[in-house]
Amino acid sequence: MARTKSPKPASAEPASGEEAPNPVWFKPVMFGFMLLGLAWIIVFYVSQGKLPVAELGSWNILIGFGIAFIGFLMTTRWR
């Protein structure tokens, strides 16, 4: 007697959409943004405002926090 396969339950289907795992590059990029933002701020303070971009002055702090914030926003999508 031939046996027919029953349809797979919904939980056995491959993940798609928001439940899909992140690509391999996601975690290194996320942590990279956080570390780059931190490094930007540290370089600004250690160089006494001469680096990374002297013309921006104190805006360098905002840029550093902005870069790090992108990394923190990425953590909301990390699976």
Q: Indicate the domain borders of the chain.
A: 33-79
Question: Is 5 a residue whose pLDDT tops 60?
Answer: yes
> Model-level pTM?
0.76
As a whole number of Å, the end-to-end CA separation of the chain is: 44
Q: Please report which helix (H) or strand (E) contains residue 32, including its range.
A: helix 26-46
What pLDDT does residue 1 have? 62
Give the pLDDT confidence of 6-60 residue by residue, as tens digits. 665 555 555 666 689 999 999 999 999 999 999 999 999 999 999 999 999 999 9
φ and ψ at 77, to 5 degrees?
Answer: -105, 0
Task: Find, among 36, 28, 43, 26, the residue nearest to 79 by Cα.
Answer: 26
pLDDT at position 3 is: 66
Residue-level pLDDT at 12: 57
